[in-house]
């Protein structure tokens, strides 16, 4: 069996062979992030890509965005939703396509995307409620936080399956099983690909640090970035616990930690937010249906 260092090198080589992030999408994101860009300019650029236009309209018309009367044109979608939501749509559909893969005995694609989209949705809600960042940006960070798992399964399904097996047999979470096996972490592999795709720094940090509580061991020292990482850290735990197989051995995550203190969130705040969390999860289901 390859040792961890050789495995990482082998994965890096495989990652190099992955498709590049579409230049047209990078261009649109850059334009949206420039406050001087007009809506017309974005519309003009997007309409040049028919596939992207169709995908955007399909998602904009999902119950998640709930445009009254729907949107038949890109102009209506952009005007009604605003550029931040358009960025969210474009990034979500692009990442979904780039990470497209098949299920196998230890990797359930449907379950993976459910976990991801729920985490994005709840992270966005937490960010909005507790002032942890811009909700639409945090949604994307939550959506892609575990992309390293897809990639690991793509480049080395055998090792991925061994990690899942250990997790199931010993009742520890996937990230803890990775540590026990001393296998390259999904957080690290995910970040390598996020770098290759030149995704924003905040996304890279959320991928790398969504299991890391301590600020001193995180990738970034920027407080605004770490607030977003905290939102994703918390949302990931909440969704993991919610989706836990009740007949399985894996124990729920706990929440008491320096993360909650830092975010000034108490457990009773999370309990009070439960109805909104459930509503956010339910509405994200429609987005999932549109994507798949
Ligand atoms: Fe993870
Ligand atoms: Fe996760």
What is the pLDDT tens value at each position of the chain, 292 positions in all?
A: 567 778 888 888 988 899 999 999 999 999 999 999 999 999 999 999 999 999 999 999 998 998 999 999 999 999 999 999 999 999 999 999 999 988 888 999 999 999 999 999 999 999 999 999 999 999 999 999 999 999 999 999 999 999 999 999 999 999 999 999 998 999 999 999 999 999 999 999 999 999 999 999 999 999 999 999 999 999 999 999 999 988 889 999 998 789 999 999 999 999 999 999 999 999 999 999 998 8
- CATH 1.10.3210.10 residue ranges for the chain: 99-292
Name which of 10, 2, 52 is nearest 27 in CA terms: 52
148 C-alpha to ligand 2 centroid (Å): 10
**Gap from CA of 1 to ligand 2 centroid (Å):** 27
pLDDT of residue 113: 96
Q: Which residues contact 108 (CB under 8 A, 6 or more apart)?
A: none
* C-alpha distances out from residue 80 to 49, 77, 86, Å: 20, 5, 10
Residue 232 CA to ligand 1 centre (angstroms) = 10
Instruction: Give me ligand 2 centre to Cα 91, in Å.
Output: 19
What's residue 234's pLDDT? 97
Q: From the CA of 18, how far away is ligand 2's center (Å)?
A: 22
pLDDT score at 10: 87
Measured distance CA(24)–CA(30) in Å, rounded = 10
Q: Do the Cβ atoms of 208 and 190 come closer than 8 Å?
A: yes
According to DSSP, the residues that pair with 104 across neighbouring strands are 107
Q: What's the 158 CA to ligand 2 centre distance in angstroms?
A: 20
Longest dimension (CA), the chain: 58
CA of 175 to the centre of ligand 1 (A): 6
Ligand nearest to the CA of 149: 1
d(CA 239, CA 123): 10
Pick the ligand that lies closest to the CA of residue 240.
Answer: 2
> Cβ atoms within 10 A of the Cβ of 253, count?
17
3-class DSSP string for the chain:
CCCHHHHHHHHHHHHHCCCCCCHHHHHHHHHHHCCCCCHHHHHHHHHCCHHHHHHHHHHHCCCCCCCCCCCCCHHHHHHHHCHHHHHHHHHHHHHHHHCCCCCECCECHHHHHHHHHHHHHHHHHHHHHHCCCCHHHHHHHHHHCCHHHHHHHHHCHHHHHHHHHHHHHHCCCHHHHHHHHCCCCHHHHHHHHHHHCCCCHHHHHHHHHCCCCCHHHCCCCCHHHHHHHHHHHHHHHHHHHHHCCCCCCCCCCCCCCHHHHHHCCCHHHHHHCHHHHHHHHHHHHHHHHHHC
pTM score, whole prediction? 0.94
Nearest to 122 by CA among 135, 109, 104, 108: 135
Query: Which protein residues have their CB within 5 A of the ion that is ligand 1?
Result: 146
Q: What does the alpha-carbon distance between residue 12 and residue 7 come to, in Å, rounded to a whole number?
A: 8
Fold classification of 99-292 (topology level) = Hypothetical protein af1432 (1.10.3210)
CA of 44 to the centre of ligand 1 (A): 38
Provide the sign of the torsion angle of the four alpha carbons 204, 229, 148, 101, taken in this order: negative
Tokens of 39: 């809506």
pLDDT of 6 reads 84
Ligand located closest to 116 CA: 2
Q: What pLDDT does residue 4 have? A: 75
- Residues with Cβ within 8 Å of residue 131, at least 6 apart in sequence: 227
Phi, psi (deg, nearest 5) at residue 277: -65, -45
Q: How far is the CA of 216 from the centre of ligand 2 (A)?
A: 21
């Amino acid at each position: 069996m390859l040792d961890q260092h050789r495995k990482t090198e082998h994965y890096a080589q495989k990652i190099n062979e992955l498709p590049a992030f579409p230049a047209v999408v990078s261009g649109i994101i850059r334009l949206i992030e420039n406050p001087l860009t007009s809506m017309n300019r974005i519309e003009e650029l997007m309409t040049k890509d028919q596939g992207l236009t169709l995908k955007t309209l399909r998602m904009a018309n999902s119950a998640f965005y709930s445009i009254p009367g729907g949107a038949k044109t890109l102009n209506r979608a952009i005007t009604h939703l605003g550029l931040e939501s358009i960025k969210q749509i474009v990034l979500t559909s692009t990442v979904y396509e780039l990470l497209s893969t098949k299920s196998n005995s230890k990797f359930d694609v449907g379950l993976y995307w459910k976990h991801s989209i729920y985490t994005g949705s709840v992270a966005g809600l937490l960010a909005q409620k507790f002032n942890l960042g811009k909700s639409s940006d945090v949604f994307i960070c939550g959506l892609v936080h575990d992309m390293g798992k897809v990639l690991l399964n793509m480049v080395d399904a055998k090792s991925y399956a061994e990690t899942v097996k250990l997790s199931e047999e010993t009742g520890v979470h996937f990230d803890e099983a990775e540590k026990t096996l001393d296998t390259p972490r999904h957080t690290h592999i995910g970040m390598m690909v996020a770098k290759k795709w030149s995704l924003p720094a905040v996304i890279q940090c959320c991928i790398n640090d969504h299991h890391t509580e301590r600020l001193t061991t995180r990738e970034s020292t920027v407080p605004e970035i770490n607030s977003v990482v905290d939102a994703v850290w918390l949302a990931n735990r909440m969704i993991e616990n919610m989706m836990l197989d009740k007949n399985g051995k894996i124990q729920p995550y706990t929440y008491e930690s320096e993360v909650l203190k830092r975010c000034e969130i108490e457990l009773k705040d999370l309990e009070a937010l439960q109805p909104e969390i459930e509503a956010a999860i339910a509405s994200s289901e429609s987005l999932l249906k549109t994507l798949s």
